[in-house]
Chain A
Amino acid sequence: MPLVLTEEQEMLRDAARGFLDEKAPVSALRKLRDSDDATGFDRDLWKEMAEMGWAGILVEEEYGGADFGFVGAGILSEEMGRTLTASPFLSTSILAATALKKIAASSQKEEHLPKLAAGATLYALAVDEGRKHAPSKTALFAEKAGNGFKLSGAKTFVADGHVADKIIVAARTAGAPGEEAGLTLFLIDASAKGLTSNRTIMVDNRNAARIEFDAVEATGGDVLGEVDGGYLALEGVLNAGRAGLAAEMSGASQQAFSMTLDYLRERKQFGQSLGSFQALQHRAAHLYSEIEMMKSAILKALQDLDAHYGMAGPICTLAKAKAGEVAKLAAIEAVQLHGGIGMTDEFDIGFYLKRIRVAQEMFGDSAFHADRLAQMRGY
């Protein structure tokens, strides 16, 4: 498959850009922050997105989705990255949609996917327990109790965890923390007894939550996929999330870079444009090259998720590793090259630095993925 967007995909991108520029620019995020909005995103906006088919971008048409594939989902992520749009898109439309589509039984699909595609039900994926991403270290335990399970433990850094109606949680049903075998995925109602969700306001002013499970009851019908064999399924979902986050970081980097270039052209010091200084030109040109490398890795990852979902682990790891590094560079350079104004809250560039910091951490930072790639390649 050629590494370029199809005409249909380009149309989706152009439409998304137009919509987001108008309805959800960075000023919208600023407003959510300044008003201490408890939801952390705009529900009306999410409704509009759902009406355009974004909530169900990955969902098959028979369940009311747009079925645009991972490339389509990545395009939307990238465009939301440009405008730093706060929405439950990652957690509901990429993570949960992938989990339901790839792992769920048909009865579960029938129950959940139409509501997900309509934007009516919000989901969250609860994986990490410590400060660094490590799915195999899952310790939250699901003890067998009668015909069902009782879940006890705590999850952290759960995107949209405080507003989600349903939580997909990775639990240990066998083995010990550190082992890949023995994991099971559960789909739990957020209002279940014993489940406490605390919103953690993050540096990027987006949502995350710490969720505590105190003997939360689940039935066999709440299990997603296989009991004890959930690790591979979880990896697949995480890969989709990593590619989505990488695409979001790509959009954010490109926008921060574009703002920086505008500034370099306009701002005059020593009687000339900043952009005419070779020291700055070379930094900009290097960053441009890195951004191009990142874009290639991400597009390939998204295409491979569509074409060979089960084999896309290494390329998604590449995309997340590369995007994490490049986006950080883009954000750091953006602030530095803006000089003093880049440090002010009034100016938008700081929002990019903050969001990128969070996105590069989620589901494995660059070091995590570099290590993973080395392991995959046998060294």
Chain B
Amino acid sequence: MTELETFRTETRVWLEENCPEEMRGSTRGEEDICWGGLRWEFRSEAQKTWLQRMASKGWTVPAWPQEYGGGGLSKDEVKILKEEMRAIKARSPLESFGIWMLGPALLKYGAHEQKLHFLRPIARGEIRWCQGYSEPNAGSDLASLQCKCEDKGDHWLVNGQKIWTSYADESDWIFVLVRTDSTATKHNGISFILVDMSAPGVSTKPIKLISGKSPFCETFFDDVKTPKEHSVGVSAVVGEINRGWDVAKYLLTHEREMISAGGGGLFGGRGLGEVAAQDVGLENGRLADPILRAKIAQAEIDGWAFLLTLERMKDEAKSGQGVGANSSMLKYYGTEFNKRRFELMMDSGGSDSLEWEGERSEDGKLARSWLRTKGNSIEGGTSEVQLNIIAKRILDLPNA
């Protein structure tokens, strides 16, 4: 047996023994996700057990190094772990912005002490992080952000406002892009700083979206004092001071990849044609509405080609041929496709799809999802920004 085969067998046995029965079965929605954090209330004893067991193996973040709380697994091993988890329908033990965003940023740009201090609590689900990027006047033009961070000798003084901070009202810490040099050109005076949200002067306010409730918040910083070092040798700033834009750009690329992959993932499950066949019915084996049928067939063609492109880009990256800026292409295409897909689902559902409350519609599940997809092509950089990036970085077209 090869090493990987042995790993697969051992993993299968371990999962079978350790994954509680209640933690198997597809994730139905927000209520089944474990976010962790200081204020987290486990939905069940099983959720807690599952998190603790997985964290003890480092498998909440299987690819991270073991010294930082990860599993130290190779790419192939991570793939096997995921496959084996899928095979028994094991739910993810922990989701968080710490895992998706801050972790990768620290692993790439953080000092060893920062990694030791911050990564383990993320891996164990003890500290919940949120992201402070956009501001009311810095959306697509993120680098024009104004949240001020002044050097006061032994501490930083933060003043300003962030917007679209997901789950800020439930998070313990925030990673924030701040302006540490207002005299430098706009990309050069930005730093990436870590702030404890329990510090005096930090406050949050939820934002209600067109889809109803949402995880988004506004986050305010009023004379927030943040120590220069959160612990001995653990700087509050990730990367160099005034070079935070590098970290931000890296994370934006990372975020785009996640969003575009999500667009592909959403395509799973029942196909559009299948949904429509049930909604509007068939006549002589064809969808009763011929124009809708044509539109759906076109969309399924584009959706399939998109999934294959995700696959091809992954394979190209593996073989070292990848073009980094292609994440912008995938983000653009995937999110625009997802909007189109939900428009077609709404068309197919007719007046039923317009219901907003009540059991029959699961409180307007489709209508709310449809509305939510409108944000896909805005968050993480708008479609227009992605097209700008493609034009400049891939197509080498000149600046205006």
Determine the chain B residues whose CB is within 8 A of the CB of A297 once the complex forms. 304-305, 308
Determine the distance from Cα of A286 to Cα of B384 in the docked complex, in whole angstroms. 10
**B175 located at the interface, meaning its Cβ lies under 8 Å from any Cβ of chain A in the complex:** no
Determine the distance from Cα of A378 to Cα of B286 in the docked complex, in whole angstroms. 8
**A265 located at the interface, meaning its Cβ lies under 8 Å from any Cβ of chain B in the complex:** yes
Whether B286 lies near A374 (C-beta < 8 A) is yes
- 16 extra interface residue pairs, beta carbon distance < 8 Å, beyond A278-B388, A378-B277: A2-B319, A261-B397, A282-B391, A285-B386, A285-B395, A288-B394, A289-B390, A292-B329, A297-B304, A370-B294, A370-B298, A373-B300, A374-B293, A374-B300, A379-B286, A379-B296
Whether A318 lies near B309 (C-beta < 8 A) is no
Whether A284 lies near B391 (C-beta < 8 A) is yes
Near A by CB (< 8 A), chain B positions 274-330 give 274, 276-277, 282, 285-287, 293-294, 296-298, 300-302, 304-306, 308-309, 311-312, 315-316, 318-319, 321, 326, 329
Near A by CB (< 8 A), chain B positions 319-361 give 319, 321, 326, 329, 332-333
> Are A277 and B400 also in contact (CB < 8 A) when A4-B319, A292-B326 are?
yes
Determine the chain B residues whose CB is within 8 A of the CB of A31 once the complex forms. none
Whether B311 lies near A296 (C-beta < 8 A) is yes
Determine the chain B residues whose CB is within 8 A of the CB of A373 once the complex forms. 297, 300-301
> Are A300 and B308 also in contact (CB < 8 A) when A278-B400, A379-B293 are?
yes
**B268 located at the interface, meaning its Cβ lies under 8 Å from any Cβ of chain A in the complex:** no
Whether A4 lies near B397 (C-beta < 8 A) is no
Nearest-CB residue, chain B, relative to A299: B312
Set B297, B316, B329: member contacting A374, Cβ < 8 A: B297
**B62 located at the interface, meaning its Cβ lies under 8 Å from any Cβ of chain A in the complex:** no
Determine the chain A residues whose CB is within 8 A of the CB of B397 once the complex forms. 261, 264-265, 273, 275-276, 280-281, 284
Interface centre among A2, A286, A296, A299 (most CB of B within 10 A): A296
Whether A276 lies near B395 (C-beta < 8 A) is no
Name A's interface SS: helix
Determine the distance from Cα of A379 to Cα of B276 in the docked complex, in whole angstroms. 8
Whether B309 lies near A370 (C-beta < 8 A) is no
Near B by CB (< 8 A), chain A positions 338-379 give 367, 369-371, 373-375, 377-379
Determine the chain B residues whose CB is within 8 A of the CB of A286 once the complex forms. 387
Set B287, B300, B301, B391: member contacting A285, Cβ < 8 A: B391
Query: Can you list 28 contacts pairing A with B, beta carbon distance less than 8 Å?
Result: A3-B308, A3-B316, A4-B312, A4-B316, A4-B319, A265-B396, A265-B398, A272-B398, A273-B397, A276-B399, A281-B397, A282-B387, A284-B391, A286-B387, A289-B333, A293-B308, A294-B305, A295-B309, A296-B309, A299-B312, A322-B301, A370-B297, A371-B297, A373-B301, A374-B273, A374-B293, A377-B273, A379-B286
Whether A285 lies near B387 (C-beta < 8 A) is yes
Determine the chain B residues whose CB is within 8 A of the CB of A375 once the complex forms. 285-286
Determine the distance from Cα of A15 to Cα of B292 in the docked complex, in whole angstroms. 46
Interface centre among A261, A276, A281, A321 (most CB of B within 10 A): A281
Interface pairs A-B: 7 shortest CB-CB: A281-B391, A285-B390, A296-B308, A275-B397, A3-B312, A379-B273, A293-B305
Whether A377 lies near B274 (C-beta < 8 A) is yes
Interface centre among A264, A285, A300, A379 (most CB of B within 10 A): A379
Determine the chain B residues whose CB is within 8 A of the CB of A371 once the complex forms. 294, 297
Determine the distance from Cα of A369 to Cα of B297 in the docked complex, in whole angstroms. 9
Determine the distance from Cα of A280 to Cα of B321 in the docked complex, in whole angstroms. 28
- Interface readout for A53-74 with B: 1 if CB under 8 Å, 0 if not? 0000000000000000000000
Determine the chain B residues whose CB is within 8 A of the CB of A367 once the complex forms. 294
Nearest-CB residue, chain A, relative to B276: A379
